[in-house]
Amino acid sequence: MVASNWLSKRLAAIRTSKQRSGDAAEERALQYLQAQGLRLVERSFLCKGGEIDLLMQDGSCLVFVEVRQRADRRFGGAIASVTAAKQKRMVHAAQVYLQALSSLPPCRFDLVAIEGDQLHWLKNIISA
């Protein structure tokens, strides 16, 4: 147990500033969504070919959440950074996640876009 604790601390220490900034954005998004009544199911679901930042429960609906952060809107901002290719990877990761479930719940894809101090929650961003 001590070795794994040491390893966790060591790995956390070598994360880049961009990774730490992304972690902070995900934490901010999580806190916001929980304040809106959503319940955390899983963080950082990874599979070959895709990732889901946050999986949340909103009533009976399973919500796949992408979190994007940009310091400003110079290059289109956080919302514009969710390209068609990124959406395709999100759908793929969601399909992999859903394959492990015994029954399929209603689902949607949301985006939490953080630009500076502004947080925007967009629901149902992908019609899959």
Domains and CATH numbers, the chain: 17-122 (3.40.1350.10)
pLDDT in tens, 40-63: 999 999 999 999 999 999 999 999
> Looking at the DSSP assignment, which residues form a beta bridge with residue 64?
55, 109
pLDDT tier for residue 70 given thresholds of 50, 70 and 90: confident
* Residue 47, Cβ density class (10 Å: 0-12 exposed, 13-18 middle, ≥19 buried): middle
> Which residue, among 124, 10, 106, 109, has the nearest Cα to 51 in the 3D structure?
109
Mean predicted lDDT score pLDDT of the chain: 87
What CA–CA distance (Å, rounded) separates 67 from 44?
A: 11
Helix (H, G, I), strand (E, B) or coil at 78: helix
